[in-house]
Chains A and B, each alone.
Chain A
């Protein structure tokens, strides 16, 4: 078995495709993609936050305090206009004369005096991806509203000491029982599982195809079968090689993801990425690896069984494609809101490992549940390996 294992590893290490898929791709491509995405997102957000919006106010004299607050806000730049109708203002915005128009009714102060509600209008193009302008505007309006409320209540002789309680009778203080790590884990845990588990399959796919269908196509299988070693040893040697490449691919991905995440986070000021990385301890990484081991074994056995059945490399690729798609179903299910790890979900293959990885990253993993997942996945792996061994002994499979 070990002779087969070491020979297969030697061949794989000399194969450019394996080096690309198992080592270079996880090291460079994925972090680069995430890094570029992060940088683009970060730069777009920063740009949107710093953008200055050109505004006009119709009937500004009706609300001088509001106009003043807007004038001194760093994200707004005041312009003047003679236009007052909604159609004219919309046309001006479309012609890029200014970005936003605030229309205060001409009778605003009269309505205020009569304690009537007034309708203001804000006219702008909302198609921007990052709508920070409306958020800033809403904050200023909220402050202005509170200011007016206080003035009105004071005029109505309400006790100034009670103003705050009247304006805001309920003040909710949020006490978050979740640690910072739990929050990060909830957000990132499922994504990490979503990346890791398919990579175990991706890393193992090419070697599995090469060692089954590839060996048939090259004509080396027949020679191997007549060596005085059992077919079980041949299968296990090949299986261990496929498993190794799958796990090495996943390990390199985790490592490079962490390192690149920290680098990109520190350079691009993405604190949330840094926090996510620092939240994961070595113990969690070991436990994640322990869970990936049996599920990778399941993948390795299935891939090898499919590959041995196929007559050619291309045929094997065709058979493996649906498997690659199928594993995303339980992964997507594990990412759904409200899907938690319990005794039922712990028995659903792939989904259970994804949920367990999320729990481990959150720091809320139940070790009994992890043992159940490990045990059930190990049983599944044993069944898959058993099937693969059985499959490898069938003439109708080997000599199709």
Chain B
């Protein structure tokens, strides 16, 4: 279970930084800070897949970084299966499987070595690690390039390796930041099947994406973040009702338009 409440994060701006006209009108900019996430709340239960949507620069990655303990929130709380990430970050990290937007592999290490390294950092024994890696190689069709160095892998191979690395320690919560971006159709299908497998195993999964067809086929819940706030948070059925014909694209755009109107009213 993932529970996020009133999450906020600002980044200090350089003293010499001059705001552009567009930035001056953006509610996220103050004189000395950029409020990347202002107020984000949502929850994701066991066996649920939550799709995190939002335009580029909306605050999705910052939100996911706070969830994963890479960044400390300025305000709000994040509970992962009852563990407060602010108070017990190390315990929270044991439960998280995180795939960042960058594939982020060590080029001189093979697929096996990349995954094993992170398994060891999670305190796995060599025997359990070998078994688990073998299992993941089968699930993600990775046996063919198990010993290939990351520098010599294709984008799809790298992404599969990165996903296997993120879940090698069998995390109780999985966070995936744009896991299918830039992949071919076959690899996308493998990744989506893998996420379905996690869901079937009762693991809550949060994944950010720009592909609404993936949201339609996978997600139980949807959160739309726009200008640092959770503009929509609810189940997929509620989300579909935001459009006349249940079209996700229209629903998404209606949420964004609603945020814009609110902002304009606020400015007026």
Contact = CB atoms under 8 A, between A and B. Distances in A.
Interface residues on B, range: 20 to 34
A234 B235 CA distance: 40
B108 A15 contact: yes
Nearest to B99: A223
A11 B70 contact: no
B122 interface: yes
A225 B121 contact: no
B98 A3 contact: no
Given A3-B117, A222-B65, A228-B94, A395 B104 contact: no
Contacts of A14: 108, 149
A193 to B, nearest CB: 34
A3 B121 contact: yes
Contact of B106 (A220, A227, A230): A220
A189 B100 CA distance: 52
Contacts of A221: 104
A213 to B, nearest CB: 14
Contacts, number: 74
B186 interface: no
A229 interface: yes
Interface residues on A, range: 20 to 34
Contact of A228 (B70, B105, B122): B122
A86 B256 CA distance: 100
B105 A227 contact: no
Contacts of A224: 121
Contacts of B113: 10
A314 interface: no
B71 interface: yes
Contacts of B166: 223
Contact of A229 (B101, B104, B107, B121): B121
B69 A226 contact: yes
A227 B108 contact: no
Nearest to B101: A219
Given A227-B118, A396-B12, A11 B96 contact: no
Nearest to B149: A14
Contacts of A11: 106, 108-109
A399 interface: yes
Contacts of B121: 3-4, 224, 227-229
A7 interface: yes
Nearest to A220: B104
B57 interface: no
Contact of B93 (A3, A4, A226): A226
Interface in A229-270: 229-230
A219 B122 contact: no
A7 B117 contact: yes
Interface string A1-19: 0011001001100110000
Would you list the 3 A-B pairs with minimal beta carbon distance, nearest first?
Answer: A219-B102, A219-B104, A228-B93
Interface of B: 11-12, 65, 68-72, 90-91, 93-94, 96, 98, 100-109, 113, 117-118, 120-123, 149, 165-166
Interface of A: 3-4, 7, 10-11, 14-15, 218-230, 395-396, 399
26 contacts: A3-B120, A7-B106, A7-B117, A10-B113, A15-B108, A219-B101, A219-B102, A220-B104, A222-B68, A222-B102, A223-B165, A223-B166, A225-B69, A226-B93, A227-B118, A227-B121, A227-B122, A228-B90, A228-B91, A228-B93, A228-B94, A228-B122, A228-B123, A395-B72, A396-B11, A399-B70
